[in-house]
Chain A
Amino acid sequence: NAGVTQTPKFQVLKTGQSMTLQCAQDMNHNSMYWYRQDPGMGLRLIYYSASEGTTDKGEVPNGYNVSRLNKREFSLRLESAAPSQTSVYFCASSEATDLYEQYFGPGTRLTVT
């Protein structure tokens, strides 16, 4: 089992460019999450999907959109990247949203210049 995989591992964008971060899990989990990690701030939830077909905003959703493509895949899109979106992005999954263990992917390091 690969667990949670993310692509790409690294990305550099210019301000205003768009891109999609991909995430897939092979654990048959119902719930998936996107976090960003910034120095000195821990992880903050951007969006989550409690189950296939649903998505909801987290703590810091502005500037992002998500798509739960199917049970396995959950993508995060930046329509017009800004330097404030420079961060490390983590995808996670869990069996359900009510305190089941979250399993994290290895992260995508994004730099916006």
Chain B
Amino acid sequence: AQSVTQLDSQVPVFEEAPVELRCNYSSSVSVYLFWYVQYPNQGLQLLLKYLSGSTLVKGINGFEAEFNKSQTSFHLRKPSVHISDTAEYFCAVSEGNNNDMRFGAGTRLTVKP
């Protein structure tokens, strides 16, 4: 079965700095990859997804991620973060259905003024 590892549990950054949240996956078949964001006391919201095609995927709120098959990674990046980006970010992998989706443990991004 597929699995996901988020390499950093917490990432503190200053406002307007760039950020990268790292995600590695394992699977024996083709995968589909997702990043979700969870703001305090809310449910998860889809940021972006890779299903096929271009390996650079752009999402909402200025985030983007790059699928790297050789390194089995799907890192999330933003060139300049805002205070409002403070949230928990989850990487997820699926082999074809929502019901087989596996989530990482999450990375808490804290943006400081």
Q: B49: which A residues are within 8 A, CB to CB?
A: 99, 101
Q: Closest residue of chain B to A109, judged by CB?
A: B41
Q: How large is the interface on B (under 10, 10 to 19, 20 to 34, 35 or more residues)?
A: 20 to 34
Select A107's contact among B43, B45, B98, beta carbons within 8 Å: B43
B96 contacts partner chain A, Cβ-Cβ < 8 Å = yes
Select B32's contact among A31, A56, A99, A103, beta carbons within 8 Å: A99
How many contacting A-B pairs (Cβ < 8 A)?
62
Name 19 A/B residue pairs within 8 A (Cβ), A-sorted: A33-B99, A40-B105, A42-B4, A42-B90, A42-B92, A42-B102, A42-B105, A48-B99, A56-B99, A90-B43, A90-B44, A97-B99, A98-B97, A99-B32, A101-B46, A101-B49, A106-B42, A107-B41, A107-B43
Max chain A CB contacts within 10 Å: which of B43, B97, B102?
B43
B56 contacts partner chain A, Cβ-Cβ < 8 Å = no
Q: A103: which B residues are within 8 A, CB to CB?
A: 43
Task: Please report whether the interface of chain B is mostly helix, strand, loop or mixed according to DSSP.
Answer: mixed
A residues neighboring B (CB under 8 Å): 4, 31, 33, 40-45, 48, 50, 56, 58, 90, 92, 94, 97-107
Select A97's contact among B42, B97, B102, B105, beta carbons within 8 Å: B97
Residues A104 and B103 in contact, CB atoms below 8 Å apart = no
Bound CA–CA A58/B103 (angstroms): 13
Residues B43 and A104 in contact, CB atoms below 8 Å apart = yes
